[in-house]
Chains A and B, each alone.
Chain A
Amino acid sequence: MATFQEFIQQNEDRDGVRFSWNVWPSSRLEATRMVVPVASLFTPLKERPDLPPIQYEPVLCSRATCRAVLNPLCQVDYRAKLWACNFCYQRNQFPPTYAGISEVNQPAELLPQFSTIEYVVQRGPQMPLNFLYVVDTCMEDEDLQALKESLQMSLSLLPPTALVGLITFGRMVQVHELGCEGISKSYVFRGTKDLNAKQLQEMLGLTKPAGQQAGRGPQTTQVPLSNRFLQPVHKIDMNLTDLLGELQRDPWPVPQGKRPLRSLGVALSIAVGLLECTFPNTGARIMTFIGGPATQGPGMVVGDELKTPIRSWHDIEKDNAKFVKKATKHYEALANRAAANGHIIDIYACALDQTGLLEMKCCTNHTGGYMVMADSFNTSLFKQTFQRVFTKDVQGAFKMAFAGTLEIKTSREIKISGAIGPCVSLNAKGPCVSENEIGTGGTCQWKICGLDPSTTLALYFEVVNQHNAPIPQGGRGAVQYVTQYQHSSGQRRIRVTTIARNWADAQSQIQSIAASFDQEASAILMARLAVYRAESEEGPDVLRWLDRQLIRLFMFHLRRSPFLQVFNNSPDESSYYRHQFMRQDLTQSLIMIQPILYAYSFNGPPEPVLLDSSSILPDRILLMDTFFQILIYHGETVSQWRKAGYQDMPEYENFRHLLQAPVDDAQEILHSRFPMPRYIDTEHGGSQARFLLSKVNPSQTHNNMYSWGQESGAPILTDDVSLQVFMDHLKKLAVSSAA
């Protein structure tokens, strides 16, 4: 076998799995000593263009408590047509369709290269995709116009059979009936009164007459394929385009000194309710576009008086944010309802001020929806991001999947503690569930309503093997990830990934365990854990816990990152950053924690440089990628050159190339990333340079700049400790704690 590095890479490419440890300590005691738990980052829909789905259903272990899927690790008796489950050791008969198997004629799922395999479920009807637009109308005309255009554009991107619906809201909530001739109809609801699904169903006239249901018999059990509010795109795209075109700003007058009344809470509730009663357990996206915070009704996050600003972290700490708890509760309830039905909630919040993402974060976080934050709908950030939601793969299918569930099966020595990521627990107890919860635990199944190829969950395991029960030599621990989801084609699919890792005795084989340590994965896994705790617990305690826990890890940037530090970030921003962090894959997550900095200069080809203030030099152009921002920084000299217009002179073409190079690189990133990052072009002394200055390691500050001399770098005006100081402390502490 090649190096661990390659092994890890190969595993990631094939299965979308990265473990913190790739050789597992063989007992609970040893495992706990390792500090970093055995855990994995798992990307369920890792893009595998080379993996064609197979057109039959998986073979399951017959033990009721196991139900593991036949996989390459199973032992097979070709003559007796039996296979032994590698998780529970149950011996199973192959189904009749497998009568022809032999050593030379193996089904795909038994081939080692198919450790990840995708099945297409043949039973059941093709499910439609639902897209329910929930549109705020309390915004400036310019914004609304841009939003309308984006929405109209999106219609052309939807598959013709997809069902679309439209809910608009301002002071009232309007559910638009689609496909009406001659008159446009909508059902209007008060923005201050929450409705449960049953009430809503009645009010929208969606209850079927009782007699009909009884009379039709089995036919009625079929889900109706459309209703007045959700109709296939091909039928109503003209109608809906007109309808969107006619959308007006909320007409209710907004008195001086007031915010417009925005019934976001009720609008979302109605959207959830509508889908709940019409398309339960069918893939659906509720796409919410908001231009400001909810100001009335359940879920309101701020009153309508402009003189009271929206809550800040400071208010929250001081317990001065009176709406937070109630609103959070409201949105949590909605998120759970949506999740239970497999529906996704996306939030596109475009406003200069906060919009209440803090309260609403669970809507996206529980359902695997997108959270996008921008200043205005009339920005390319929003427009491109929104467009990118509808990206298609080579087969022309959306790069999104719906209503997924993830089930984990483990061998006996190891149990699942929990998951962190855009999922909710399905509360499925089983033999492989650990009592020790990490993240969303206590279950071996999770619902992931919205999945895309980069959606990544962190899964934490616990080694339960007792010290005195040694694992036989060469024994391997196995984990099976079974992901069921609705493909955007409407098919139901099951993707099964089965992996195995060697056990090693920590006392005798500590080196091999150490060598198998995946530093990057571990960093992200611990970071997720930290963020999870930061989200669910009170702030400072988490940092203390983290410091205690991770003292031996390199966590300087994480500590400084907006994922843990709320200083200088609004609650909404924190929520947004954390949201992204919790779902992105390893590479992206790493960028988020430690932004990448490239330097462009005449001295040589572009090179990555330290994220340090010393990297900021006058004759350099820096390109920083923080995931959320792409920043091009022109050093003092470069910017003066640029101002002087040298780049336009033919004899300074090389300067033009130099200026162009980071821009090209930035464009490349901008084009591939979702959500689209904020693109910043700034220079030495520019106000936006602050984004760079806040990220770099403050090796030079106003406190120490003179002692370091002035020839290089730029001082950062901060009281934050630099990496150097952090390291010094770390060393001291490490020694003292070892003592």
Chain B
Amino acid sequence: MSQQGYVATPPYSQAQLGMGGHPGGFGGPPSQPVYGHYGGPPQPFPIPPGGTQHGILGIHKGPVSAPSAMPQPPASSHYGSSVQQNGSYTQGFPPPPAASSSFGQVPQSPYQNIAPQATPSTHQLTNQISNMQISGYGQGPMPTPQSPSRSAPQQPFHSAPPHLMAQTPTAPGPQSPSMGSPLPLGGPPPMGGMMPAPMGGPAFHQLQGQGTPQGYPQPPAAGPYGGQLAGPQPGFPGSFPGGAAQMAGPPQKKLDPDSIPSTTQVIEDDQAKRGGQIYATNLRGQIPPLVTSNFTVQDQGNASPRFMRCTTYTFPCTSDLAKQCQVPLGTVIKPFATIPKNETPLYVVNHGETGPIRCNRCKAYMCPFMQFIDGGRRFQCAFCSCINEVPVFYFQHLDHMGRRMDLYERPELSLGSYEFIATLDYCKNNKPPNPPAYIFMIDVSYTNIKSGLVKLLCEELKTLLEKLPREEGVESSAVRVGFVTYNKILHFYNVKSALAQPQMMVVSDVAEMFVPLQDGFLVNYQESRAVIHNLLDQIPDMFADTNESETVFAPIIQAGVEAFKAAECSGKLFIFHSSIPTAEAPGKLKNRDDRKLFNTEKEKTLFQPLKGVYEQLCKDCVAQGCCVDLFLFPSQYLDLATMGDVPTHTGGSVYKYSNFQAEVDGTHFLNDLRKDVEKPIGFDAIMRVRTSTGFRATDFFGAIHMNNTTDVEMAAVDCDNALTVEFKHDDTLNEETGAFIQCALLYTTVGGQRRLRVHNLSLNCSSQLSELYKSCETDTLINFFAKSAYRAMLNQPLKNIREILVNQTAHMLACYRKNCASPSAASQLILPDAMKVFPVYMNSLMKTPAMVGSPEISTDERVLQRLCVMAMGVEETQVLLYPCLIPLQNMDVSSSVLPGAVRCSEERLSDNGMFLLENGRLLFLWLGQACPSELIQSLFNVPSFAHLPEELNSLPELDNPQSKKVHAIISAISERRTNRMKLLIVKQKDRPEILFRQHLVEDKGLHGGASYMDFLCYVHREVRQLLT
């Protein structure tokens, strides 16, 4: 999140008050520091590292002494309580009446432990100071607490830092001990020891303290003691409303990073509680385990959370309530989600020529929610309440419970997810579809030849084509393949099995694309293997001495569409493209990258695809069921916003390998490609989300195309495509009946069968907001917000979006505070338990490259992230926004368990450590400078850190337990991710470390954006504002 955004925006100007912890935003007058916090030239405080640090230190320093100087029993007791809050609330502490039962907060006196904590808090504080020093590279302006009156006091505060400078030297002293404290964190229980008080007193102090100076505009040097004391204390007693996790604002200087809610802890707790267990979907509105947890689903009438996951499992009964809480009602649907081996695959139901049984009125499909009445002769639709006759062949008697006798014999009556065989009525032109085809389109312009891509790819295809996806239980794949190479003209290949050698057909008329051959373009790989191999051998040689550097783009997609049209099938294009298409052809692009637009009103234009050709192309692709997967190998800007438009509207993926070199990036690319080719997929899909009365699906986010407001069209859906659906109320929902969602997807299988996949989910409804908050699913919520924010990027300035996000966060929390939490002091930040870590994700979302306009991040990179996120499922957004940081230096070589993750923050790193960080897209191996030589030796086969080569591209596989273990960890991580991740090895203090640091999401963003702590403080401020 960019602080300047807050500062510069009028609605947030108040924020400054609370933003003591944001060192960036307050240096200048509110209007001025638009670029300020990035440390860019226009900064009034142009990052003289020393000076700034001093300043920061100074500011912190003042308050630091305050809490430490005041050993308050209350504070420490709070600390203790927070141990329980974080560690054990889930374990069923008796619920305080005000809060929901699942929140096991013991309303203890928060003051117990503060005395022992007093000293450490100083340490932590200084620790944080040092933290800020490091992470605050670009942070120019001083955090200047302002008085609430916001007028005069600013001046004195400006002068404050110099005062405090004197005290700076003292900070480093305590720092070293404090550095020690995070270290133990590296161990498996990161929250163990003294750290497990994320909500602890210190945090309290800090936040409150932060508030205090405003309340008491005194010169910090002099005033902190009294002022701060006065502030926090009144707040403390009431600060434990029992059920909810809470945050209060202790003096800013005392922030203890361990004191705020920890994602890793939450994940670990959930894994401990629900991991390894069976999750049976028999209950309405049941909240599934977290995406990170390892559980087994047993379908007992509701779709597995792998297929559908909701933002909340209890919908508010009325739209008023929904509006009040502002918690979005949505579900993330991943219709083809991979099912683990130990779970039952979907049953396929065949109703013969009549096709699936449906409600006559709303056309909902037969599902467990349908009520059979009248002795089984009729059924009432759960979605529209229409009463339908049961077809004769489908009739079955009911038992004494009113359930059909054959309930358990029929998947569509007993399961949440199942498939129907579709009849011809569900097929295009009433003709059974042909099996889909894959066309490989290889850019053979100079760049791709030179980088070695073409050679690598052609070699790989020979083996890859053996592994085309195939129908369950079928010997060989029915998917046909075709090949095209191109630069500014296209070359099609006839690889009919009867030919002795392949035939190349050149189409240079790119203005009106067509496919030059009918027979022999799309072939069965097994039959034409010899010719295809011959071709793949020749392609690299044929273009070996090309000097053509211009390419076309839209025509090749057009060609694919035409090919599928001619073959009357759907399919997928794999396009391996190098550069911005500048050749004279439809869809020609020019460089419109302009970083001057960053952070301006016009920034959105950079993300908007160009209309016209590509827009039409999307439509054509979707109509034909042509999915486009784009593999890009650019060396510079290529207008990804436009080029990625078609892939993202057709259920395809975009991969980007900047400055590709076959030797370096080859493996990564091939891994991606293999996964992409082999992945389970359905084609020519159309999806409809039906809901029971009272609400309906209003908005859809994802890699989809929509011609009207209800039908979601996807040229293809694979196991990773997820779309997010938002629901709105039409009417009042009934607590009794609950809410039903049915998602029906009509598609063509890789074998050429037309099928219907149906997912059903039932949710609770409640008129109590607390119920809603209790059933919230943070990971899904953040997925929802990420997609909606990323979509909004096309139309609104980022500044507004960030504002909205913060507003909404604050609003949700404030509403909770107001309606669900027991009364407490306004100075406390109280988070619903289910949304405890929501702010860290939200903050991380606002710091993602796409959302932060930094000149150091290329436009294409931002666009790429935007496009990728649009199709992401919950699992992926979760890890993207909160990467997994795994310490390796103390790993247990003998155990098969992954070492526990630690919080994504600089201070968790240590000079003598080694860490693995992954966010689902990138995988870093970070090596501390003082990394033990033995570890280096066993992993890299060099004697010590100093001996490591400049460029470390890969991790050798060595025959020793450490190396094996690390490789095992890496492959275990990669296994559960959508993308194959490229391993980047980063040495501490090395230049590439910056890349790595961007992903330490709890810290202040390198390119702008607040630290977790600061954000929390800020949100708190906002909440307070809302509550008053």
A positions within 8 Å CB-CB of B:
172, 174, 177, 180, 182-190, 193, 195, 199, 202-205, 246, 251-253
Contacts and interface: CB of A to CB of B under 8 A. Distances in A.
A204 B504 CA distance: 14
A587 B315 CA distance: 102
Given A182-B538, A183-B501, A246-B499, 14 more contacts: A177-B506, A180-B504, A182-B501, A183-B502, A183-B535, A184-B504, A185-B504, A185-B506, A186-B503, A188-B506, A188-B516, A199-B509, A203-B508, A205-B508
Contacts of B505: 174, 185-188
Interface stretch (B6-14, B149-157, B517-525): B517-525
A186 B502 contact: no
B489 interface: yes
B564 to A, nearest CB: 16
A187 B507 contact: yes
Contact of B512 (A182, A193, A252): A193
A187 B506 CA distance: 4
Contacts of A187: 505-508
A193 B513 CA distance: 11
B508 A183 contact: no
B514 interface: yes
Contact of A202 (B499, B508, B516): B508
B926 interface: no
A108 B518 CA distance: 64
B492 interface: yes
B504 A190 contact: no
Contacts of A180: 504
B897 interface: no
A252 B542 CA distance: 28
Contact of B509 (A177, A182, A195, A251): A195
B485 to A, nearest CB: 11
B516 A174 contact: yes
B504 A186 contact: yes
22 contacts: A172-B514, A172-B517, A182-B534, A183-B503, A185-B491, A186-B504, A186-B505, A187-B507, A187-B508, A188-B517, A190-B509, A190-B514, A193-B512, A195-B509, A203-B489, A203-B509, A205-B489, A205-B508, A246-B499, A251-B519, A252-B518, A253-B518
**Shortest 5 CB-CB distances between A and B: which pairs?**
A188-B516, A203-B508, A251-B519, A187-B506, A185-B504
A190 B510 CA distance: 10
B847 to A, nearest CB: 49
Nearest to A243: B503
A252 B503 CA distance: 16
Nearest to A188: B516
A184 B519 contact: no
Nearest to B520: A251
A261 to B, nearest CB: 11
A251 B518 contact: yes
A360 B491 CA distance: 32
Looking at chain B, what size class is its interface with the partner chain?
Answer: 20 to 34
B512 A188 contact: no
B512 to A, nearest CB: 6
Chain A interface SS verdict (over half): mixed
B550 to A, nearest CB: 12
B321 to A, nearest CB: 61
Nearest to B584: A202
Nearest to B535: A183
Nearest to B519: A251
Interface centre among A172, A183, A186 (most CB of B within 10 A): A183
A52 to B, nearest CB: 48
A199 B585 CA distance: 13
Contacts of A184: 501-504
A589 B506 CA distance: 47
A128 to B, nearest CB: 24
A190 B512 contact: yes
Given A183-B503, A188-B492, A204 B508 contact: yes
Contacts of B504: 180, 183-186
Contacts of B542: 183
A172 B538 contact: no
Given A182-B501, A193-B512, A252-B518, A188 B507 contact: yes
B517 A251 contact: yes
A377 to B, nearest CB: 23
A198 to B, nearest CB: 13
A172 B508 CA distance: 13
Given A183-B502, A186-B504, A172 B516 contact: yes
Contacts of A185: 491, 503-506
A411 to B, nearest CB: 55
Contacts of A188: 492, 505-507, 516-517
Nearest to A185: B504
Nearest to A242: B500
B173 to A, nearest CB: 70
A172 B506 CA distance: 12
Contacts of A205: 489, 508
Contacts of A204: 508
B506 A183 contact: no
Contacts of A186: 503-506
A182 B504 CA distance: 10
Contacts of A183: 501-504, 535, 538, 542
A185 B508 CA distance: 13
A143 B342 CA distance: 63
A205 B583 CA distance: 14
A177 to B, nearest CB: 8
A187 B490 CA distance: 9
A252 B520 CA distance: 11
Contacts of B501: 182-184
A186 B503 CA distance: 8
A687 to B, nearest CB: 41
Contacts of A193: 509, 512
Interface string B53-87: 00000000000000000000000000000000000
A189 B509 contact: yes
A199 B584 CA distance: 12
A187 B542 CA distance: 15
Contacts of A203: 489, 508-509
Contacts of A253: 518
Contacts of B509: 189-190, 193, 195, 199, 203
A50 B501 CA distance: 53
Contacts of B518: 251-253
Nearest to A182: B538
A203 B499 CA distance: 27
User: Taking each of B508, B514, B517, B542, which has the highest tally of chain A beta carbons within 10 Å of its own beta carbon?
Assistant: B508
A199 B519 CA distance: 28
B979 to A, nearest CB: 35
A203 B491 CA distance: 12
A174 B506 CA distance: 9
Contacts of B508: 187, 202-205
Contacts of A182: 501, 534, 538
Central interface residue in A186, A188, A193, A202, by most chain B CB within 10 Å: A188
Interface string B814-837: 000000000000000000000000
Contacts of B534: 182
A183 B501 CA distance: 6
Contacts of B535: 183
Contacts of B499: 246
A8 B665 CA distance: 88
Contacts of A252: 518
B694 to A, nearest CB: 52
A186 to B, nearest CB: 5
A180 B514 CA distance: 24
Nearest to A171: B518
B575 to A, nearest CB: 20
A125 B508 CA distance: 33
Contacts of A251: 517-520
Nearest to B500: A246
A190 B506 CA distance: 11
B480 to A, nearest CB: 16
